[in-house]
Amino acid sequence: MDLSDEDQNGEGKKKPSPVVTIAIIAGLSVLAGGGGWLVGNLLAPAAPSETVAAEVSGAAGDQDGKKAEDGDLPRLATEANGIVALEAFTSNLAYPADNLVRMEVALAFKDAPDPVLAEAIHQDIMAYMRTVSLQQIQGPRGFQYLRDDLKERVDLRSEGRVTNIMFRTFVIE
């Protein structure tokens, strides 16, 4: 018996019902979603609860003479911690001159922070960024070289009183 005989008798292959197909797809979607949720909960760290955030906020107490508001986490970059967050600045690069860089950095002081020294370092970083070309800071290696150069300049300017420079934002337009 060949295939033409089966088709004539009506015993050929039947197409599956659309209802069965939709049910199978829905069941597999629910199974995949549940598996994704399970794996996500196993791998991702648990989010801190509101009570932990309230404890951290309450432990911080007064900051700069102001009481921390409910739900606000304490700001870690404070002069009490020896960290001075410098003002963000925008500067053009040496080449191409139409590219701009916007940076916001913080300085970690060894002892008590010195605002005058921090402002001098801020101006020095701004002046240095005007001498850098885009090709020098492209990619991870270029960014690391920039970070090392700025760290060296900060060390020279501060005479060892600044232990670290931290990039808070770094955007090239």
Scanning the structure block, which residue is given the tokens 């909960």? Answer: 41
pLDDT exceeds cutoff 80 at 154: yes
Q: Please state which of the four CATH numbers 3.30.479, 2.40.360, 3.30.160, 1.10.287 is assigned to the domain occupying 79-172.
A: 3.30.479
Closest CA to 107 of 168, 39, 52: 168
Cα 92 to Cα 94: distance, rounded to the nearest angstrom: 7
Closest to 86 in 3D by CA, of 65, 71, 108, 64: 108
Judge contact between 75 and 137, C-beta under 8 A.
no
pTM of the complete model beyond 0.85? no
pLDDT in tens, 94-150: 988 899 999 999 999 988 888 899 999 999 999 999 999 999 999 999 999 999 999
d(CA 137, CA 147): 9
User: Are 96 and 135 within 8 A, CB to CB?
Assistant: no
Residues of the chain with CATH 3.30.479: 79-172
Q: What is the pLDDT of residue 142?
A: 93
